[in-house]
């Protein structure tokens, strides 16, 4: 019998469930779930969604922490023919409502404990007709146009025969909302073809096999975390799901218990683990591969990481949501090319251009451009921004992704990151729109002007700093600003510092000159 190649995202689960029905697919809260159980549960969610009126291409928002339920939901939506959207559970009601309305989502799968945000967001989200809630469903607002159902009751219900919608590879599989420079999140469209190609390219260069056990502490709402799930299911591996890295001691015990072989993280997590290694000598011998993305991994971490993970290959990487991953450095070259983020991932190509579109010579700075099947088709409902990021390629039939990031390339073809070309701040593995943080601070009484910028930080990538002009008493105003930020922003978006200035430098057209502000206030350009 011919083994038909995978074309759709959900087919990976079907293949792995057929090949490894009794193998553990997911471990969460000390419970093992097999591939057979995952397929059965995902089928029930898919059937429920189809009966509820979800059609091919309809968007379904998933507003959950890392959990068994969120894993089931992702595959339930994709098997139903829908487009899933993972939304960080830290997201406040106003942004949740914006994402729902911008995407036109028809269903929301969520945790009952988030009911305050859910109720507030759904007060003006007319496209949502179905609410599927895990846990407590009491006190959730319902009306004639919005039906609320229990996630657990759906999973316990008898299996029903439902005809699922058939996707093709260029149908959308997911929308991933990421911060935009305007202050409004933008929806990155990813097709089944994008995600299937990317998954197997990652699997190839990471040298993953079905014996691998991936330890997940990165949010599934972050594409880095999401692809750990997709890769694990695709290879028939095991994913150990943790909500976060909030309690390191507990994580260390889980690593010792479950013996994972792959550990993906961001520099802030590695920094804490290195400190634990230095103070207690703790190390993790089961782990064979560690990966890093978001902020660059500091070169000085390498010796400490080798002590922490004595048997692991270290993969340095660079990417962005619009194509998931751009390049990686072979772990054998970590010492030979310590400052490099490597070469293009398998099946793709990269090159550098000047702002005028001319090719850049070896060793000179240029803007990184990416071509390959992993490049998004565009941003949801935003043709103007899509055209800014997707540029005509050198071949007449293609578009390539302009990353807007500056790199240089050495004579061997290895890439070196130099800096960003836009205002987006990358901190703790997340993208933050300065405009979004500025809008919240402006809503605080007494603020005249505010500028939010990212300052290079060894561990976090960038640290968020708010520069504020006000005539009010500074100590009290700083407390008010922080309260406003904590109440209205995800925790990673809250400024680390607030600096008060007497006035803001202005450009000839009257705009605040951020470059001058950085130079005068922070001493950098």
As a whole number, mean pLDDT of residues 165-180 equals: 92
Question: Which among 295, 243, 239 is positioned nearest to 270, based on CA atoms?
Answer: 295
Q: Spell out the alpha helix ranges (H) of 52-131.
A: 68-79, 93-103, 115-121
**Is residue 81 predicted with pLDDT exceeding 70?**
yes
The three state secondary structure string of 265-300 is ECHHHHHHHHHHHHHHCCCCCCCCEEEECCCCCCCC
Query: Residue 322's pLDDT is what?
Result: 96
Identify whether the C-beta of residue 72 lies closer than 8 Å to the C-beta of residue 40.
Answer: no
Decide yes or no: CATH 3.40.50.800 for domain 425-522. Answer: no
For 225, the enclosing helix (H) or strand (E) is helix 223-235
Lowest mean pLDDT among 109-113, 244-248, 346-350, 456-460: 456-460
Query: Band of the pLDDT at 520, cuts 50, 70, 90?
Result: confident
**Is residue 33 predicted with pLDDT exceeding 50?**
yes
Average pLDDT score over the chain: 92
- Pick 194 or 161 by higher pLDDT: 194
Task: Tell the CATH topology of 34-167.
Answer: Rossmann fold (3.40.50)
pLDDT in tens, 92-110: 999 999 999 999 999 999 9
Phi first, then psi, for residue 118 (nearest 5°) are -60, -50
- For residue 521, the SS3 value is helix
Query: Residue 439's pLDDT is what?
Result: 80
Query: Band of the pLDDT at 525, cuts 50, 70, 90?
Result: very low
Task: Tell the CATH topology of 207-311.
Answer: Rossmann fold (3.40.50)
Residue range(s) in the chain whose domain bears CATH number 3.30.300.30: 425-522
Query: Band of the pLDDT at 507, cuts 50, 70, 90?
Result: low
pLDDT in tens, 454-480: 888 888 889 999 999 888 889 999 999
How many Å apart are CA 33 and CA 46, to the nearest integer?
A: 18
Query: Residue 514's pLDDT is what?
Result: 76
How many Å apart are CA 262 and CA 284, to the nearest integer?
A: 11
As a whole number, mean pLDDT of residues 271-283 equals: 90
Query: Residue 511's pLDDT is what?
Result: 61
As a whole number, mean pLDDT of residues 365-394 equals: 96
User: For the chain, how many helices (H) and strands (E)?
Assistant: 15, 27
How many Å apart are CA 248 and CA 367, to the nearest integer?
A: 38
Question: What are the beta bridge partners of residue 189?
Answer: 175, 378
Share of the chain above pLDDT 70, in %: 96
Identify whether the C-beta of residue 166 lies closer than 8 Å to the C-beta of residue 81.
Answer: yes
As a whole number, mean pLDDT of residues 51-61 equals: 97
């Amino acid at each position: 019998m011919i083994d038909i190649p995978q074309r759709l995202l959900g087919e990976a689960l079907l293949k792995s469930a057929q090949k490894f029905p009794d193998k553990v697919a997911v471990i969460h809260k000390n419970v093992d779930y097999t591939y057979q159980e995952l397929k059965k549960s995902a089928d029930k969610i898919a059937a429920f969604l189809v009966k509820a009126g979800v059609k091919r291409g309809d968007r379904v928002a998933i507003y959950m922490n890392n959990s068994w339920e969120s894993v089931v939901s992702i595959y339930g939506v994709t098997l139903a023919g829908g487009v899933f959207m993972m939304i960080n559970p830290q997201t406040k009601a106003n942004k949740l409502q914006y994402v729902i309305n911008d995407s036109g989502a028809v269903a929301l799968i969520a945790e009952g404990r988030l009911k305050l945000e859910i109720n507030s967001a759904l007060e003006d989200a007319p496209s949502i007709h179905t609410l599927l809630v895990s846990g407590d469903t009491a006190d959730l607002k319902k009306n004639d146009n919005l039906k609320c159902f229990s996630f657990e009751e759906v999973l316990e219900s008898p299996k029903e025969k439902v005809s699922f919608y058939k996707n093709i590879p260029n149908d959308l599989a997911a929308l991933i909302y990421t911060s935009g420079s305007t202050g409004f999140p933008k929806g990155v469209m990813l097709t089944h073809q994008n995600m299937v190609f990317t998954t197997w390219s990652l699997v190839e260069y990471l040298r993953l096999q079905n014996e691998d056990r991936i330890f997940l502490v990165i949010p599934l709402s972050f594409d880095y975390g999401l692809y750990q799930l997709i890769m694990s299911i695709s290879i028939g591996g095991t994913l150990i799901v943790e909500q976060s890295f909030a309690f390191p001691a507990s994580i260390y015990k889980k690593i010792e218990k479950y013996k994972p072989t792959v550990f993906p993280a961001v520099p802030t997590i590695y920094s804490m683990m290195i400190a634990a290694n230095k103070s207690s000598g703790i190390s993790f011998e089961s782990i064979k591969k560690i990966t890093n993305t978001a902020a660059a991994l500091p070169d000085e971490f390498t010796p400490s990481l080798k002590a922490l993970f004595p048997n692991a290959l270290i993969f340095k990487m660079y990417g962005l949501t619009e194509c998931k991953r751009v390049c990686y450095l072979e772990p054998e070259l970590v010492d030979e090319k310590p400052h490099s983020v490597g070469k293009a991932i398998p099946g793709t190509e990269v090159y550098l251009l000047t702002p005028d579109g001319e090719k850049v010579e070896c060793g000179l700075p240029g803007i990184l451009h990416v071509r390959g099947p992993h490049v998004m088709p565009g941003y949801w409902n935003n043709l103007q921004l899509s055209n800014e990021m997707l540029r005509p390629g050198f071949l007449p039939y293609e578009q390539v992704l302009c990353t807007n990031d500056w790199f240089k390339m050495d004579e061997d073809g290895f890439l070196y990151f130099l800096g960003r070309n836009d205002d987006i701040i990358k901190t703790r593995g997340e993208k933050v729109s300065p405009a979004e943080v500025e809008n919240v601070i402006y809503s605080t009484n007494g603020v005249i002007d505010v500028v939010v910028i990212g300052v290079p930080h060894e561990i976090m990538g960038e640290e968020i700093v708010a520069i504020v002009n006000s005539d009010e008493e500074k100590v009290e105003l700083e407390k008010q600003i922080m309260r406003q930020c904590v109440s209205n922003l995800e925790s990673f978006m809250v400024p680390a510092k607030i600096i008060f200035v007497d006035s803001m430098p202005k450009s000839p057209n009257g705009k605040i000159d951020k470059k001058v502000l950085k130079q005068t206030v922070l001493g950098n350009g």
